[in-house]
Chain A
Amino acid sequence: MRPKVKFLTNELINKIINEATEILCKLGVEINNQNVLSLLSDNGARIEKDRVYFTEDIIRKALKTVPNSFKLYDVNGNETNDFSGDNVYFTPGSAALHILDHRTKEIRNPSTEDYIDYLKVVNQLKHIASQSTALIPNDVHEKISDSYRLFLSLLYCEKPVVTGTFTIESFEIMKDFQLAVRENEKNLKEKPLTVFSCCPTSPLKWSDVTSQNVLDCAKYSIPVEFIAMPLSGFIAPVTLTGSLIQHTAETLSGIVISQLANPGTPMLYGGSPAIFDVRYETTPMGAVETMMIDCAYNEIGKFLGIPTQAYISLSDAKQLDAQAGLESGMGATLAALSGINNISGPGMLDFESCISLEKLVMDNDICGMNLRMIEGIEPKEDFPSIPIFEELIKENHLLISKHTRKYLKKEHYFPGEVINRANRPRWIAEGKTTLEERAHTEVEKLIQNYEPSCLKSEIKNDLTKLMENEAKKYGQDKLPKRKP
């Protein structure tokens, strides 16, 4: 049996959806983009200046065309993620302004070199299915800081990419990169390579850039994840139910734009809501209520038949300490038990603003443990049980029993070297290492052991030419030097 956590009854889900629909129809949404306004108007929405009043009809129509599942494929075209049912996948949190340097322990702005180190690590982490453009290198022109991340990602790491643009203009080049990898639009549509995060602005607004991104992604059937961010008690009702109503309304508005633009565009019902901590003026991702909202909107998404995403399993701690483990572990467990399809969080500290490679390798084990947990408890040649107990009584142990050898690695998850399970004397004999030290060793090892991506070298050259031309547009003649 698949273990599950639930926070909402179907009755409450229905009430929340009805309420959100009423808000969209009666209070409307502010949309600062002429193309989107025209699209909605053409489909029967009432527009007053930049305010759009949705109709129940277009919401219903949009919901009908959302695919209830889709898949992602790596740069070589191999399937990696099947977003359907309650399948769970992990992806690193994004997008960090800072990196906690694993060598100096300094928190600073990341560079190209840091981004490449990150890609080398994430490419080898077994329990993290996709990469994200998790940090923003600051040694390139800011106008290309979004596309440059995707460029490096496709060059160094084979996993599909959770990404997004910072401007309307960047979409073009980021789409062209994907076409370079997949060769043509048809292939790209058949084998999606990226998911683009598109964020409404709370409360109930869409900016010019992000709403245009929704249209642009729809045009090429590039999957999107809607990242609504109501903050309970600040720019959303303080109650979790109230925040859920707002999150539902904001997400539904994105679904309508996307599905009217191109019915059938794949999407994740996502978000990054949080409570607002009125003591520190911060938005804690490690707060239990934040996690509850995430798990609950996942239930709403699933109720609507849409695969889901959430920013959960990240931490507000500033370093790799017990708080980091507690918040990431708790979030990952709740998310996995809820069946959130794409869990964005591993590696992230300081409210989504700082990536730590050491945390990323620790989180990889948190992900592994949770993936094991949701496989649940399934009998495997356990009935009848007399033969195995006869063997046990006869042999005094089952260490080399056929049953043990067949099921050991399926039944028990074996974490990597970051998690220490030696007894104390052995731990002392082996250097009395802290978690941070073990994670550090692991990061160094992964960077050392990295093997270049199998992406064809012609494609790598094409990507490089595209990126160099894009940089030149903004007066940057040379890209930063890259390690092999």
Chain B
Amino acid sequence: MEILNQISEYLQQGDDDKVFALTKEAIEQDLNPKVILDNSLIAGMNIIGEKFKKHEIFLPDVLMSAKAMYAGLDQLKPLLASKGISGLGKVVIGTVQGDLHDIGKNLVGIMLKGAGFDVIDLGKDVPPEKFVETAKRENAKLIGMSALLTTTMTNMKKVVDLVRKDNSDIKVIIGGAPVSKEFADEIGADAYAYDAGNAVECVKELI
């Protein structure tokens, strides 16, 4: 449908005004909100994601498109909720206890939000229990943790253990300079992401 393609195009151009207006028009035309979401907003963001990966566009372009996506998504949300359709899901993120480095974690938050996830950012120096309690309370599907110090990365294992103890299906993803795929495997985390773009890909795969 033409209007859906147009929304996707404007989203890719980062034009939030146009995405807002056209989404409104699409809703008024009684198009299925799930179709608008999938065929214009998510479809547009998927193209943006691919282009970012290939270095055809850069981080600011992705974030502008994300902003445009929200101009549409915010209108769709109540309609989706009334039909019992949830968004991409909630994720809880934070820098582990003892660690005050949060630039990387913030970037992951910005990118996940841009990809359409509901992000609950617990900030830095977050105790293990807080990660798990928040995730359960908010019905989040995933916990993302970051560490910059070798001394604090051990706290990641505590969170994984707490999640596993409950037999919860909450996924855990980790990242940060001292962390590696091997370490993720060792502590039983579900995934390791090497940068914010990669984190979005991993989270999409996990939930």
Residue ranges of A at the interface with B (Cβ–Cβ < 8 Å): 396-397, 399-400, 404-405, 408, 414, 417, 422-423, 425-426, 429
**Contact A425 B181, CB 8 Å, known A399-B60, A400-B64:** yes
Interface members, chain B 174-192 (any A CB < 8 Å): 180-181, 192
Report Cα–Cα, A408/B63, bound state, in Å: 14
- B106's partner among A397, A417, A423, A425 (CB-CB below 8 A) is A397
Assembly CA distance A397 to B66 (angstroms): 15
Complex interface: chain B residues within 8 A of A414 (CB): 58
B137 at the interface (CB under 8 A from A): no
Which B residue sits closest to A398, measured CB to CB? B60
Once the chains bind, are B63 and A400 in contact (CB under 8 Å)? yes
Report A191 CB to chain B, min CB distance, Å.
Answer: 35
| Nearest 5 CB-CB pairings of A with B | A425-B194, A426-B194, A400-B63, A399-B60, A399-B63
When the two chains form their complex, are residues A423 and B64 in contact, meaning their CB atoms are under 8 A apart? no
By a CB distance below 8 angstroms, the chain B residues around A397 are 106-107, 110
How many angstroms between the C-alpha atoms of A405 and B180 in the bound complex?
Answer: 33
Which residue of A396, A400, A404, A423 is within 8 Å of B195 (Cβ)?
Answer: A423
Return B49 CB to nearest CB of chain A, in Å.
15
Residues A408 and B198 in contact in the complex (CB < 8 Å), given A396-B106, A400-B67: no
Max count, chain B CB within 10 A of own CB: residue among A400, A404, A414, A426? A400
Q: Chain B binding site: helix, strand, loop or mixed by DSSP?
A: helix
B67, B106, B192, B195, most chain A CB atoms within 10 A? B195
Given the known inter-chain contacts A425-B181, A426-B198, please indicate yes or no for A399 contacting B110, CB distance below 8 A. Answer: yes
Partner of B58, one of A396, A408, A422, A426: A408
Q: Which residues of B contact A399 (CB under 8 A)?
A: 59-60, 63, 110
A-B contact pairs, 11 of them (CB 8 A): A397-B106, A399-B110, A400-B60, A405-B60, A408-B60, A414-B58, A422-B194, A425-B181, A425-B192, A425-B194, A429-B198
Give complex CA distance A414, B59 in Å.
13
Q: Which residues of chain A are near B64, meaning CB under 8 Å? A: 400, 405
Q: Which residues of A contact B58 (CB under 8 A)?
A: 408, 414
| Minimal beta-carbon separation of A425 from chain B (angstroms) | 4
How many residue pairs bridge A and B at CB < 8 Å? 32
**Contact mask B48-81 → A, CB, 8 Å, 1/0?**
0000000100111001100100000000000000
Asked if A423 meets B194 with Cβ closer than 8 Å, knowing A397-B106, A397-B110, the reply is: yes
Residues on the B chain within 8 Å of A423, using CB = 194-195
Residues of chain A within 8 A (CB-CB) of B194 are 422-423, 425-426, 429
Across-interface contacts of A422 in B (CB, < 8 A)? 194-195
Residue of A nearest to B181 (CB): A425
Given A400-B60, A417-B55, A426-B195, 17 further pairs, Cβ under 8 A: A397-B106, A399-B59, A399-B110, A400-B63, A400-B64, A400-B67, A404-B60, A408-B58, A408-B60, A414-B58, A422-B194, A423-B194, A423-B195, A425-B180, A426-B198, A429-B194, A429-B198
Complex CA gap A399/B108 in Å reads 13
Task: Report the bound CA distance from A118 to B135 in whole Å.
Answer: 58
Using CB atoms, name the residue of chain B closest to A404: B60
B12 → A minimal CB distance (Å): 15
Q: Which residues of B contact A429 (CB under 8 A)?
A: 194, 198
| A400 neighbours in B (Cβ, 8 Å) | 60, 63-64, 67
The CA-CA distance from A399 to B194 in the complex, in Å, is 20
Nearest CB in chain B to that of A396: its residue: B106
Contacts of B63 in A (CB 8 A): 399-400
Beta-carbon contacts under 8 Å, B71-112 to A: 106-107, 110
Q: How far does the alpha carbon of A160 sit from the alpha carbon of B55 in the complex, in Å?
A: 30
Interface residues of B in 138-158 (CB under 8 A from A): none
How long is the Cα–Cα vector from A404 to B61 in the complex, in angstroms?
11
- Give Cα distance in the complex from A408 to B62, angstroms: 14
Nearest CB of chain B from residue A415's CB, rounded to whole Å: 10
**A58 → chain B closest CB, angstroms:** 57
Q: Which residues of A contact B106 (CB under 8 A)?
A: 396-397
For the complex formed, measure the closest distance between the CB of B51 and the CB atoms of chain A, giving whole angstroms. Answer: 14
**Which residues in B have their C-beta under 8 angstroms from that of A425?**
180-181, 192, 194
Residues of A within 8 A of B67 (CB): 400
Give the docked Cα–Cα distance between A422 and B55 (Å). 11
- Per the bound structure, the CA–CA distance linking A397 and B104 in Å amounts to 12
Report the nearest B residue to A409, measured CB to CB.
Answer: B58
Chain A residue at minimal CB-CB distance from B103: A397
CA distance in complex: A423, B110 (Å): 19
CB distance from B43 to the nearest CB of A (A): 21
A425 to B107 Cα, complex, angstroms: 17
Distance in Å: Cβ of B124 to nearest Cβ of chain A: 13
Q: Given the complex of chains A and B, what is the CA–CA distance between A399 and B109 in angstroms?
A: 13
